[in-house]
């Protein structure tokens, strides 16, 4: 990867992945594009920036040509609960951006990374130790776009030799840009409430297990997979990856070790609850570990310490 385009650079993953990629490949070699400008200062000032509606093929092609892009990180998506409010928008954005990336990549010989998700599974999937290759019948439009994305990406690899690679991210926890409209967002919001000294209202029931990962591990995984020796890859789209799994009462208890006065109440949001119950309790990510040495560093305790240290310092200002 020499010249990289990040689509959706202003989003939860993009706002950190762009900076991480620039630290590895050099600021000028990573183009940050988003439909909305400006993005955060670190991105606006760290290298080239372009406004781009990724659902418009000509706009994506123009940037790829002008910068002679070798790899596209396509992070454009509407998260699960938000997409349920407007399914066609979820489909048009997720699939529109993906198809444009794949077609441009076919024409200009780029690699493509597109995150899939735990949302690519559904209630008929084995939810404990979810295997790499298993039943995928999601019941959300977000999940339908993710399964479609996995299939299309594998198709472009087999049919046109486009170097497509992908991971099924679990809920991602981060402190630069908030997610928004996701089912796993509660595990981000809870830290912000704790750091602000506010009570947290949890939208999921106690006992609702979900896979999660701290953003530094997610960034590392994306780059590690794109740099992996292709001869070792048996799978491509998409690898199960996870770092931890917990229920709301477990993340709450971990935060209370640092902030004993922190309070949480439950007010279940039915759409999020039903989505969460249809997703894995924990995935088996042994293929990612075997084929490209995936190895996350953060568990619940280490992530909690880091999140609270960073947010406490920010809110103390």
Least Å distance, CB 117 to ligand SER, is 3
- Torsion on CA atoms 279, 280, 283, 287, rounded to nearest 10: -50
Q: List interacting residues with ligand SER (CB under 6 A).
A: 79-80, 117-119, 142, 169, 171, 182-184
Cβ proximity to ligand SER, 117 vs 208, nearer residue: 117
* Nearest residue relative to ligand SER (C-beta): 182
Neighbouring C-beta atoms of residue 53, cutoff 10 Å: 19
On whether the CB atoms of residues 31 and 67 are closer than 8 A, the answer is yes
Q: Which two tokens stand for residue 25?
A: 């490949």
Looking at the Cβ atoms of 11 and 171, the one nearer to ligand SER is 171
Nearer to ligand SER, 180 or 207 (CB): 180
Six token digits for residue 134? 């298993």
Question: Which residues are tagged catalytic?
Answer: 142
Report, in Å, the least distance between residue 293 CB and ligand SER.
Answer: 23
Of the pair 1, 79, the CB lying nearest ligand SER is at 79
Residue 49 vs 167, nearer CB to ligand SER: 167
Name the residue nearer to ligand SER (CB basis): 47 or 170. 170
Residue 168 CB, nearest distance to ligand SER (Å)? 8
Least distance from ligand SER to the Cβ atom of residue 68, Å: 32
Are 67 and 108 contacting, i.e. CB atoms less than 8 angstroms apart? no
CB 39 within 8 Å of CB 20? no
**Shortest Å distance, C-beta 246 to ligand SER:** 15
CB of 22 to ligand SER, least distance (A): 24
């Amino acid at each position: 990867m020499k010249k990289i385009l990040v689509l959706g650079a202003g989003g939860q993953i993009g706002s950190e992945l762009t900076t991480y990629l620039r630290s590895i490949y050099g600021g000028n070699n990573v183009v940050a594009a988003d439909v909305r400008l400006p993005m955060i200062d670190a991105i606006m000032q760290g290298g080239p920036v372009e406004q781009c509606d990724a659902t418009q093929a000509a706009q994506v092609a123009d940037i790829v040509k002008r910068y002679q892009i070798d790899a596209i990180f396509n992070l454009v998506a509407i998260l699960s609960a938000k997409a349920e409010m407007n399914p066609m928008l979820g489909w048009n954005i997720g699939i529109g951006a993906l198809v444009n990336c794949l077609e441009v990549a076919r024409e200009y010989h780029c690699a493509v990374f597109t995150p899939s998700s735990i949302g690519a599974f559904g209630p008929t999937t084995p939810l404990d130790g979810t295997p790499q290759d298993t039943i995928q019948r999601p019941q959300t439009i977000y999940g339908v776009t993710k399964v479609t994305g996995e299939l299309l990406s594998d198709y472009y690899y087999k049919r046109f030799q486009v170097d497509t690679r992908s991971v099924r991210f679990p809920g991602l926890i981060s402190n630069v840009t908030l997610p928004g409209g996701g089912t796993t967002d509660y595990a981000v919001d809870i830290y912000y409430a704790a750091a602000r000294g506010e009570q947290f209202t949890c939208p999921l029931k106690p006992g609702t297990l979900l896979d999660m990962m701290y953003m530094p591990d997610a960034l590392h995984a994306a780059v590690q997979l794109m740099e992996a020796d292709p001869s070792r890859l048996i799978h491509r789209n998409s690898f199960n990856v996870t770092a931890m799994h917990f229920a709301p009462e477990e993340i709450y208890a971990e935060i209370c070790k640092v902030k004993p006065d922190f309070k949480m109440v439950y007010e279940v949001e039915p759409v999020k609850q039903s989505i969460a119950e249809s997703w894995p309790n924990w995935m088996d990510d042994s293929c990612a570990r075997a084929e490209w040495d995936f190895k996350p560093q953060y568990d619940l305790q280490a992530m909690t310490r880091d999140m609270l240290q960073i947010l406490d310092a920010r809110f103390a200002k």
